[in-house]
Structure 1
Amino acid sequence: MAEVSSDQLSLPLFEGDIKPSYWVNQSTTLINAIQDLTITERRIIYTLIALVQPDDKDFKKYVIGVKDLAQLLEYKGNAIYKQVQNAIDGLMGKQLVIHSNDGNQDIVDKIQWVQHARYEMGTGRITIQLSDGLARYLLNLEKYAKYRLYNVLRLSSEYSWRIYELLKEYEWKKERIIRVDELRKLLSIPDDKMKLMKVFRKTVLEKAKAELKEKTDIEFKYEVHSKAGRNIESFIFYIDKNKKFKRPQIELDSLREDMESIIHTLIRQGIRRDAAEKVAHEYDYQYVDANLRYVLSLDSLEVKNKAGYILTALEDNYAGFDGPAKRETEDPMKSLFIGQTIERLKAKTEKDNKSLEGLYKLFEKRLLENHDINLKVFQLQRKEAFFERFDVISEDRRKQKHPPLLKADINHTTIAELFEEWEQIGEEVY
């Protein structure tokens, strides 16, 4: 997301590049809060939430094109700007309600979803900022759940969306028990609506069951868990992967990006390529993501050997991630993408090594051909040439979004020593 300069607004603006493949990261508290949103309002707010990056320190103001948002909301015709504006206006009047207890008293927090919206009538753009009150539920998360935005954008019922979130949180446990009165509150169903259980089951549960199976990555079955006389008190939901869910190309692209992101991040932190590959194969993506975020959020002074600390964090789950650490069975597509990522990195490293060794041979030839050469001048010139080459390689890798070259990647001993010296100078500068 590219930063946009603005003389009129104090906070930086970022172009909201809407992608259905983005992750929705939110705390479990937010998932289990009372949310009175229509399906349209939900699509807007969770598209914004998906724009929040895991390492963001605070919220930003996002600039979104009306046509992009209208396409997301499936608005058509000449009145899309007015339709989008009405939807956001409705959203700004809604509150998130969170109940808690500080040990002495019950507390009810009421938080607006959107803090600020600006409509630029001439450019077809909207600037939106999430409420600051949401920050604790979306930034620097400890207990959280996540899902791909595309899993929910096609849902036609707000009840289906909410049930998807509530079950997705417990997907790793494979079941969740929910009291009927609690579920009605979480779905914002008034007491005077759907009072008959058969109506509730048909309108809410059965529709959600069918829609999740048709459109999302999970499915569920449910049955009565407990009764009080003839009245149903609670249901138990059995959650499973949707085996008939056809992976859209966007999901495969997202899986590829996830594997690249994990491997590249691990290597950037000094972990060897083979160790990064092992981690990607062995652990669940969300588990690795949570523990990486935990370690990278620590003060660098607290961790001397970050690579070793990350590996220990993964072994011992320093992040306290609630979900599974490892998958029961390996996903063949995941294995394929890991292999492709490693092969690309291997090919890039071999190319860089060839370039460096070629440069070394040029200086070696110069030394052999000039017997009267001043060794100090020669060594200085060689060092400067290699430092320039390291700069070029580093910039090239950055542009191609490859992780940086590591000393362990370099085959030649003398070149590796020069590289270490180059790294130390860089650390001193920054």
Structure 2
Amino acid sequence: MVETTPTTAVNPLVVQHNALVNAKFDLNTHEARLFLALLARLQRTDTAFSKCQLLVREIVPSTGSNNVYDQVRRMLKDFASRTLTIEKLSSDGRPLKKPSFTVIPLLAYATYLEGEGMIEAQFNDLLLPYLLELRDNFTKAQLTELLKLKSANSYRIYWLLREYAAFGKRTIRLDELKAILGLDQEYDRFNNFRARILDRAQAELAATDLPFTYEAIKQGREVTEIKFSFKPVTPTQAIAAPGSNYSEWEAAVLAAGVSAASLPLIQARLAAGDYDLGYIRYVLDTVKGQVRTGKIKKEGGAVFKALTDGYLLPDYQQKQTAVVSKKKPTASTNPQRKKLLIELEDARNSLRFIQTAVIYTDETRAVAAAEVQAKIDQLEKQLAS
């Protein structure tokens, strides 16, 4: 097995497949924090899981006694044994026509690094299609919002509502919600579930970007469904990395009338090497010319179709071939360079997050920032060579 360098850098944007959002598993508060910490260490360009390392104090804030470390060891033992019931996916990461579920372990391993005050863990490789190289059917959230939540159930409910952010409402059967939260054998009385789960989640999410109200829907005298209502997230309010503006090409695409919610689809095709930034510029220029001549009326729709379907790619590639025959290819057409640019963007976002996130002390912030800055310097050097 290839030895990998442990990952400690934090990604301010957390992403997971919708099947994982709706998976059935039970975590306590500390386990939920650890799960979130591991998610935040995944990078857009990852194709395999790396070992992740994080400080114990990131999971358990009070680390002043040996009892805390004993608690961490017990937590890791329980966390490493957690399984989840999750919907199977096809080879291209899509749900099967006939839903089928499987039970898989959450982690490959988890351990406490003696004398370092560090936790090391790695996701189970069976979770690869649910966490890496996602193209569609995924939900994303800002880490800064998730860190505001205190209970594991509030964290799961946040993700369930975030999946439906564009609609502003989600109705879930009560038995399904309890199963997703791992509470299907608890809270026979709805009043207890309301007070300890729903009301607490409502209070905690009120401090996030996703406050909600809910209604208990009855059949006869029995509550059978919960209807959640919240302010819908419009396309122009799509999540971006905190503290960062859109890149030049993203701003140009948005200015053409493409919704911000569509950017991940385009980013995925870029990351996959289906085309380069030159194609995006070509599409924008070509469509704008077609608008001027009256060939098309909706610029945004035409740009979106060209960038997701790639129907202008043959024309673009033909023009590029003509240029290449006269001129030596530049590094900008190199897939490796595109990968480095994505890594550089993610590293800069991570650095901005580290500089402001409350999960760091002055000491740990300096260490984490130095590590990410070193990576930025290395990437910039590679791109300049």
Q: TM-score, normalised by structure 2?
A: 0.65
**Does the Cα contact within 8 Å between 1:45 and 1:113 map onto a contact in 2?**
no
2:267 aligned to 285, 292, 304, which one? 292
Residue matched to 2:141:
147
Aligned mates of 1:145, 1:154 — CA distance in 2: 18
Matched, 1:17 2:6: no
Residue matched to 1:97:
85
Q: Please give the residue correspondences for 1:216-365 in structure 2 after superposition, counting only pairs within 5 Å.
A: 216-225=208-217, 227-240=218-231, 254-257=241-244, 259-260=245-246, 262-263=247-248, 266=249, 276-280=250-254, 285-299=260-274, 305=279, 307-308=281-282, 315-316=304-305
Aligned mates of 2:156, 2:87 — CA distance in 1: 18
Structure 1 residues 153 and 88: CA distance shift in structure 2, 3 A: farther
Q: Deviations over 1:376-400 (max 9, x none)?
A: xxxxxxxxxxxxxxxxxx9xxx9xx
Q: Please give the residue correspondences for 1:186-205 in structure 2 after superposition, counting only pairs within 5 Å.
A: 186-191=180-185, 193-205=186-198
1:173 CA drift (Å): 0.6
Aligned mates of 1:202, 1:144 — CA distance in 2: 30
Q: Deviations over 1:256-300 (max 9, x none)?
A: 32x25x33xx3xxxxxxxxx5343555554531332122331445
Residue matched to 1:179:
173
- Counterpart amino acid of residue 292 in structure 1: Q
Aligned mates of 1:313, 1:293 — CA distance in 2: 19
Aligned mates of 2:126, 2:302 — CA distance in 1: 30
Residue matched to 1:130:
123
Paired residue secondary structure (2:15):
strand
Aligned mates of 1:124, 1:158 — CA distance in 2: 23
Q: In percent, how many aligned pairs have the same letter?
A: 26
Matched, 1:161 2:167: no
Paired residue secondary structure (1:83):
helix
Structure 1 residues 202 and 317: CA distance shift in structure 2, 3 A: farther
Structure 1 residues 207 and 296: CA distance shift in structure 2, 3 A: same
Q: Return 5+ residue gaps in structure 1 as ranges.
A: 1-8, 243-251, 267-275, 321-393, 403-429
Aligned mates of 2:306, 2:280 — CA distance in 1: 15
Structure 1 residues 197 and 116: CA distance shift in structure 2, 3 A: closer
Residue matched to 1:417:
none
Aligned mates of 1:15, 1:140 — CA distance in 2: 18
Paired residue secondary structure (1:115):
strand
**Does the Cα contact within 8 Å between 1:313 and 1:319 map onto a contact in 2?**
no
Larger Rg: 1
Aligned mates of 1:133, 1:285 — CA distance in 2: 31
- Counterpart amino acid of residue 139 in structure 1: L
Q: Relative contact order (C-alpha < 8 Å, sep 6+): which is higher?
A: 2
- Counterpart amino acid of residue 228 in structure 1: Q
Aligned mates of 1:217, 1:300 — CA distance in 2: 34
Paired residue secondary structure (1:190):
coil
1:75 aligned to 30, 52, 62, which one? 62
- Counterpart amino acid of residue 24 in structure 1: V
Residue matched to 1:43:
33
1:139 CA drift (Å): 1.0
- Counterpart amino acid of residue 140 in structure 1: E
**Does the Cα contact within 8 Å between 2:24 and 2:84 map onto a contact in 1?**
yes
- Counterpart amino acid of residue 26 in structure 1: Q
Aligned mates of 2:183, 2:306 — CA distance in 1: 38
**Does the Cα contact within 8 Å between 2:171 and 2:226 map onto a contact in 1?**
yes
Structure 1 residues 187 and 122: CA distance shift in structure 2, 3 A: closer
